[in-house]
Structure 1
Amino acid sequence: MPDLRYHLVSLISVFLALAIGVLLGTAIADRGVVDQQLRAQIADIENRFSHQQEVIAEKDQEIATLRAQLEAQDEISHRMAETIVAGRLQGVDVAVVAGPYADEEVSRQVQETLQSAGADLGPVIRLEPPDREQISAASFEPYARAALEIAGSTLEIRALEDVADVIAGGPRPEGLPDVVVFVGGGAPVDPEAAEPALDFLATAQEEMFGAWEDAGIRVVAAESSFAANSEIPLYQSAGISSVDNADMPAGRAALVLLASGAAEGSYGVKPTASSAFPEPSS
Structure 2
Amino acid sequence: MIIDYRYHIASLVAVFIALGIGILVGSAVLGNEVIVKRQQQLADRLEIQLEELRQKNEAVQARANNLEIDNNIQKQFEKQVLPPLVAGKLTGKRLAIVETNSYGFRDDLVNTLTMAGATVQSVTTVLDGFDLTGRKDRLVSELNLKEADDNALVKQLAAETARGILTGEKQALLNTLAQAELLKLSGDYGVPVDGVIFIGGSQDRSLVKTEILDYPMIDYFLQQKLPVFGVEETDVTYSYMKDYQKKRVSTVDNVETPPGQLALVLAIAGKPGHYGVKPTAKQLLPPIDTATGGVGNVKPGQSVSGNSRT
Task: Identify whether the pair has TM-score above 0.5, normalized to the shorter chain.
Answer: yes
Letter of the 1:268 partner, please give it. G
Distance of aligned partners of 1:136 and 1:241 in 2 relative to their CA distance in 1, 3 Å threshold: same
- 1:104 — aligned with what? 104
Q: What whole-Å deviation, never above 9, does each CA across 1:176-233 have from its counterpart, x for those lacking one?
A: 111211111215x4x5xx3xx645x423322222222332322211011222222112
Q: Aligned partners of 1:66, 1:74: CA distance in 2, in Å? A: 12
Letter of the 2:78 partner, please give it. S
Aligned partner of residue 234 in structure 2, secondary structure? coil
Instruction: Name the one with the larger helix percent.
Output: 1
Q: Aligned partners of 2:166, 2:80: CA distance in 1, in Å? A: 35
Point out where structure 2 has 5 or more consecutive residues left out of the alignment.
1-27, 137-147, 177-187, 289-294, 297-310
Q: Aligned partners of 2:174, 2:40: CA distance in 1, in Å? A: 90
- 1:265 — aligned with what? 273
Q: What whole-Å deviation, never above 9, does each CA across 1:52-102 have from its counterpart, x for those lacking one?
A: 211211111111112211221222233333332122222211111111x25
Q: What whole-Å deviation, never above 9, does each CA across 1:113-147 have from its counterpart, x for those lacking one?
A: 21222211234111122225586251134323431
1:65-80 pair list within 5 angstroms: 65-80=66-81
Cα RMSD after superposing both structures? 3.2
- Structure 1 counterpart of 2:217, from 202, 205, 208: 208
Instruction: Report the alpha carbon displacement of residue 31 of structure 1 after superposing the two structures with TM.
Output: 3.3
TM-score by length of 2: 0.66
Distance of aligned partners of 1:278 and 1:38 in 2 relative to their CA distance in 1, 3 Å threshold: same
Q: Aligned partners of 2:215, 2:33: CA distance in 1, in Å? A: 85
For the 8 Å contact 1:150–1:212, the answer to whether it is kept is no
For the 8 Å contact 1:102–1:185, the answer to whether it is kept is no
Distance of aligned partners of 1:125 and 1:173 in 2 relative to their CA distance in 1, 3 Å threshold: closer
- 1:178 — aligned with what? 194
- 1:223 — aligned with what? 232
Runs of 4+ in 1 over 4 A off after TM superposition: 132-135, 164-170
- 1:51 — aligned with what? 52
Q: Aligned partners of 2:175, 2:75: CA distance in 1, in Å? A: 48
Larger Rg, first or second structure (1 or 2): 1
Aligned partner of residue 105 in structure 2, secondary structure? helix
Point out where structure 1 has 5 or more consecutive residues left out of the alignment.
1-26, 155-163
Q: How many residues align?
A: 236
Q: Aligned partners of 1:165, 1:120: CA distance in 2, in Å? A: 21
Aligned partner of residue 40 in structure 1, secondary structure? helix
1:112-261 pair list within 5 angstroms: 112-128=111-127, 129-132=129-132, 133=136, 136=150, 138-139=152-153, 140-152=155-167, 173=189, 175-186=191-202, 189=204, 194=206, 198-199=208-209, 201-261=210-270
Q: Aligned partners of 1:223, 1:233: CA distance in 2, in Å? A: 12
Aligned partner of residue 48 in structure 1, secondary structure? helix
For the 8 Å contact 2:121–2:189, the answer to whether it is kept is no
- 1:40 — aligned with what? 41
Q: Aligned partners of 1:186, 1:122: CA distance in 2, in Å? A: 24
Aligned partner of residue 95 in structure 2, secondary structure? strand
The higher-RCO structure (CA 8 Å, 6+ apart) is 1
For the 8 Å contact 1:127–1:143, the answer to whether it is kept is no
Distance of aligned partners of 1:166 and 1:66 in 2 relative to their CA distance in 1, 3 Å threshold: closer
For the 8 Å contact 1:127–1:142, the answer to whether it is kept is no
Letter of the 1:41 partner, please give it. L
Q: Aligned partners of 2:39, 2:130: CA distance in 1, in Å? A: 71
- Structure 2 counterpart of 1:276, from 278, 284, 298: 284
Distance of aligned partners of 1:174 and 1:60 in 2 relative to their CA distance in 1, 3 Å threshold: closer
Q: Aligned partners of 2:270, 2:223: CA distance in 1, in Å? A: 17
Q: Aligned partners of 1:229, 1:48: CA distance in 2, in Å? A: 44
Seq. identity, %: 23
